[in-house]
Structure 1
Amino acid sequence: MTFKRRSFLKMLPVLPGVSILTDLTNTSLPPSVTMRFIIASDGHFGQPGTDYTTMHTDLIGWVNREKMQRGADFIFFNGDLIHDEPTLLYDLKTMFGKLRVPYYVGRGNHDKVGLDVWQSTWGYGTNHSFVKGDYAFIAGDTSNEKGQYVCPDINWLRSEITKYANKKGIFIFLHITPEKWTDNGIDCKEVVELFENTPNVKAIFNGHDHDQDSKKQKGKMPYFFDGHFGGNWGTAYKGYRIVEIFEDDTWQTYQYNPTAAPVLNSFTGK
């Protein structure tokens, strides 16, 4: 997996009064972006001792700016939406209503709500999937109402992956990484092997580990982390991850820090 410059200009922050018209070192036009989405996790809405309202307001502002300046098809919130208290879901959903892009959510270990409450709030279960064009997106549950760490349902994953076998690519969202390579990961051997042996699974995106914002590799399969935008620990900045799919079916992902040197840990895949 190697980094490509094809959308480097797209990564640069948009500055008032500055217009970048072309890449003078390469006169050929790069493939255009056909889909662009955002992954953010660990907002921990309602966590005591944190300014969680400001953190969410900032994130919503950054996402809406992405939509206006570079485009965004949707955002996926990869777990720990709230901090333990189930009644916080209503206020969080109201806040998410300020987003100018469609959004999807997955459950984390601090989302301590029952399946019925989750379903009635979001309109789908803690295991769910959706399709955008030629690509499928699968969100697997890695916790339960008590906040325990669990491996995602392997039978459900197999069924979903089979359902999308004809898609150009599948992207997986799991709050907790299924490999014990971080302090907070868990060992889910069957899950890891399933991903490794499915040709059209492109990448797995994890949250949970607030101090992780790069890539880990298991065999040929990349696993990406996106730090955090809330909570009281983790990377020194609050940020999110961008994924861009190009018309030639290659794709690129990078971590984005909206408040400083913005682009971090860029990777391109096929």
Structure 2
Amino acid sequence: MIRREFLQLSVGLVALGCQPPSTKSSRRLRFAVASDGHYGQAKTDYKAYHENIIKYFKQERAEKGLDFVVFNGDLFHDNIQFLPEVKQYFDQLGFPYYVTRGNHDHVTPAQWRETWGYDLNHSVEIGKNAIILADTSNEKGEYLCPDIPWIDAQLAKFTKKEHVFLFMHIPAKLWSEHGTTCPELEKTLAKYPNLRAMFHGHDHAIDMGKTLSKPAFFDGHFGGNWGVDYKGYRIVEARSSSSCYTFQWNPEKQLKINEQVF
């Protein structure tokens, strides 16, 4: 695997270099992001992909610690009959996880709420931190901008949190053909210094960082039939009140694809 270099972000991302290894006692929060499992997609080994991702996250939790996981969209592939099955896999984690809707998750707001117990737009306080889960599609699978006034209200509510992280399946910028253009979102996000980063799925071929007034990180894919040539996930650690660290992980080769402090 050729090492991929991050775009140097305007908010002051620096190369990792001499950063010491993280320990459970030295970090304040550690979570994983995985996207695009596409449970039920024809001609893919989707059950094995889900068995593997659950196994990997249980290992991460036991060996290095994980506070939660976010499955960032395209949980299943088009047919809602697969929704209960994919939830059964996620429930095997045995610790907190959260989900966003992707464009292949053809589900109504009511069906979503009945399955997961919360709305398509949802936020969670996690101690001194918070996460925002924003919807970027609909039952038809269209690419949409998120509800920017709602995101603004959540960020305003969380201004005293040390770290806030935003999760949206579809990116709000055309870094490839797989995105949207939402200029008002960039202005909104720039107002909140404790919003550390946003996280996207959707584009299986991107597993690195971009910027949209804030760092924006992709995590490739852990299912589906296209994209980067491995099935992996992203790890994020909050190490202090002002410093976070992230890397993309290839679990099969036990290999960091990239790493960054932000």
- What is the match of residue 123 of structure 1? 117
Aligned pair count? Answer: 249
Find the counterpart in structure 1 of residue 165 from structure 2: 171
Aligned to 1:14: none
CA deviation string 1:20-42 (max 9, x = no partner): xxxxxxxxxx9701211000000
Are 1:253 and 2:246 an aligned pair?
yes
Q: Check 1:99–1:134 CA distance in 2 against 1; reply closer, same or farther (3 A cut).
A: same
Q: If the length of structure 1 is used for normalisation, what is the TM-score? A: 0.89
State the Cα RMSD in Å.
1.5
SS at match of 1:38: strand
Structure 1: distance between partners of 2:244 and 2:211: 17
Preserved contact between residue 111 and residue 147 of structure 1 (Cα < 8 Å): yes
Matched, 1:3 2:10: no
Counting only pairs closer than 5 Å after superposition, residues 45-194 of structure 1 correspond to structure 2 as 45-194=39-188
**For the residues of structure 2 that align with 1:263 and 1:238, how far apart are their CA atoms?**
13
Partner of 1:17: none
Alignment partners' CA distance in 1, 2:93 and 2:46? 16
Matched position secondary structure for 1:116: helix
**What letter matches 1:127 in structure 2?**
N
1:215 aligns with 209
CA distance in 2 between partners of 1:198 and 1:190 (Å): 14
User: Mean Cα displacement is larger for which, 189-198 or 57-66?
Assistant: 189-198
1:236 to 216, 219, 229: 229
8 Å Cα contact 2:162-2:241 kept in structure 1: no
1:230-251 residue CA offsets vs partner (Å, 9 max, x unmatched): 0000010000000011145411
Q: 1:206–1:226: 8 Å Cα contact kept in structure 2?
A: yes
AA matched with 2:99: V
Cα distance in 2 between the residues matched to 1:166 and 1:261: 37
Percent of residue pairs bearing the same amino acid type? 44
Q: Is the 8 A contact 2:136 2:146 kept in 1?
A: yes
Contact 1:81 1:107 in 2 (8 A): yes
Tell me, which stretches of 5 or more residues in structure 1 are unaligned? Answer: 11-29
After TM superposition, give the deviation of residue 6 of structure 1 in Å: 3.1
In structure 2, the partner of 1:21 is: none
Question: Higher relative CO (CA 8 A, sep ≥ 6), structure 1 or 2?
Answer: 2
Establish whether residue 265 from structure 1 lines up as the match of residue 258 from structure 2. yes
Q: Secondary structure at the match of 2:114?
A: helix
Task: Verify the 8 A CA contact 2:209 2:218 in the aligned structure 1.
Answer: yes
Structure 2 residue runs without a partner (length 5+): 1-12
Greater gyration radius = 1
Look up the match of 1:24: none
In structure 2, the partner of 1:226 is 219
